[in-house]
Amino acid sequence: MRLEWPKIGSENVFTWSTVVTLFDVARTAGVSASTVSRALTRPDKVAVKTRALVESAVDELGYVPNRAASGLRGGRTHTFGLLVPDLANPYFAAVAKGVAERAREHQLGVFVVDSDEDEDDEPELVRRLAHQTDGVVLCSPRAPLRDVEAIAGRPLVLINNRIAGVASVAVDNIGGIDLAVEHLRSLGHRRIAYVGGPEHAWSDDQRRAGLRRVIERRPELEVVLLGPHRPDAEGGLVAAGVVAASGCTAAITYNDLVAVGLVRRLIALGLRVPLDLSVVSFDDTILATMISPTLTSVRTNLRDVGRGATDLLVNLLDTDRGGGEPNPIIDTSLVLPAELVVRESTAPHVSTIMPGTSTGAAG
């Protein structure tokens, strides 16, 4: 290992002619390689003096451990994989940010793979990811069952999905639905449309289930289930006609994008939001505050979802037996709370029969 200071322009720029290895550190510190390794990975197992020696050598040489080598020998790559259906989708991007953030705090590297919403590619991508990492986080998998099979028992955390025996983190869709419905109910709405998302979407299923439970509890309510619809503005545009004709005074949408499309078409149809129709969206992305009227929305801290998934994975990693022993099935399922952000798109229902009964007491 030797340093060079070639002149580039008028600046000194240094480059390593070869990588600084643990052995180099050992030599400068005047100790053996294994001592350096210990000093770095289990500082308590080394004399304080020696540790100081090693540390200053590390600083002096600018040593950075080689993860590949450490992983090869130690069995841990200190790296995990994150698979998302679409990095450019603000929802997944927020989750990914949380994952990346927490990974950094845990000193883990994270391989990111974008499946581009292709459910058939997914299992193979997962398999490859699993083979070069210590574990994998799957965000909103499109083929969860096949993925779990492909991963062959390696540490795995699911986001926005639930499979028996697999750790997961999810948004509280049922609670979110409750919040949305109760908000609308307290505003006097009795007939509510749900503009659902795409078929087989896990969170859509959850929300429909939540709605079924709500109407059992609140017999005075009527819920009109619509969909499947595309999870974008187009989906909302398409749904608007049916919503307008449904006799509903309020609508809950699969996400912000759907709400945007819905509101736009509704207004084009001559309806006023929220005067004629109140709208509650899901996700509370940046869009919710950017459009007019601003959207009342059900939100969950998505960065926390990513962070939680990472923490769960780290737990799995710590308990992972590694070579061969089946891991204890840690079937931890974290559900992060939903909250309702009330904005301009919801207003009291002005009854056509009895004007003035808008802010009704409990039913």
Partner DNA sequence: GTGAAAGCGCTAACAT
Partner DNA sequence: ATGTTAGCGCTTTCAC
Decide: is 328 part of the binding site for DNA (CB under 7 A). no
Report the distance separating Cα 336 and Cα 311, nearest Å. 14
Kindly give, in sequence order, each residue whose CB lies less than 8 Å from that of residue 7, ignoring residues fewer than 6 positions away. Answer: none
Radius of gyration of the chain (CA): 27
Structure tokens at 43: 């500082």
Report the distance separating Cα 198 and Cα 205, nearest Å. 10
Q: Which residue has the tokens 């009854």?
A: 351
* Minimum distance of a second copy from residue 210's CB (angstroms): 26
Give the one residue of 35, 77, 89, 297 binding DNA; rule: CB under 7 A: 35
Give the one residue of 3, 56, 74, 290 binding DNA; rule: CB under 7 A: 74
Our CB check for a second copy shows the closer of 64 and 353 to be 64
Name the strand (E) or helix (H) holding 212.
helix 202-217
From the list 37-45, 80-88, 302-310, 346-354, the region that binds DNA by CB under 7 A is 37-45
Q: Which residue has the tokens 């912000």?
A: 256
Q: Are 297 and 341 in contact (CB under 8 A)?
A: yes
Give the one residue of 3, 69, 112, 152 binding DNA; rule: CB under 7 A: 69
Our CB check for DNA shows the closer of 49 and 321 to be 49
Q: Which amino acid is at 89?
A: N
Our CB check for a second copy shows the closer of 88 and 353 to be 88
Site string for DNA, 211-240 (x = CB under 7 A): ------------------------------
Q: Which amino acid is at 260?
A: V
Name the strand (E) or helix (H) holding 195.
strand 191-195
Structure tokens at 161: 């999905």
Our CB check for a second copy shows the closer of 292 and 357 to be 292
Q: Which residue has the tokens 């926390």?
A: 304
Decide: is 33 part of the binding site for DNA (CB under 7 A). yes
Contact positions with a second copy (CB under 8 A) in 215-274: 233, 257, 260, 264
* Minimum distance of DNA from residue 24's CB (angstroms): 7
Q: Which residue ranges make up the site for DNA (CB under 7 A)?
A: 18-19, 21-23, 30-35, 37-38, 40-41, 45-47, 49-50, 63, 65-66, 69-70, 72-75
